[in-house]
A = this chain, B = another copy of it.
Amino acid sequence: MDDTSRLQPGQRLQRGVARFLRDLGHASLLEFVPAPGLRVDVISISPKGEIWIVECKSCRADFTGDRKWQGYLEWSDRYYWACDTAFPAELLPEDTGMMLGDAYGAEIVRESPLTPLAGARRNRLTRDIARTAALRLQTAIDPMGVLQSGPGGR
Contacts and interface: CB of A to CB of B under 8 A. Distances in A.
Interface of A: 1-2, 15, 18-19, 22-23, 25, 27-29, 44-45, 47, 49, 123, 126-127, 129-138, 140-146, 148-149, 152-154
Report how many copies the assembly holds.
2
A27 B142 contact: no
A131 B27 contact: yes
A21 B145 CA distance: 11
A142 B67 CA distance: 30
Contact of A25 (B134, B144, B145, B153): B153
B15 A134 contact: no
A146 to B, nearest CB: 7
A134 B133 contact: yes
B19 A134 contact: no
Interface of A is mostly: helix
B145 A22 contact: yes
Contacts of A135: 22, 27
Nearest to A19: B145
B27 A138 contact: yes
Contact of A140 (B19, B49, B140): B140
Contact of A45 (B1, B29, B127, B140): B127
A9 to B, nearest CB: 17
A47 B25 CA distance: 27
B134 A29 contact: yes
A45 B131 contact: yes
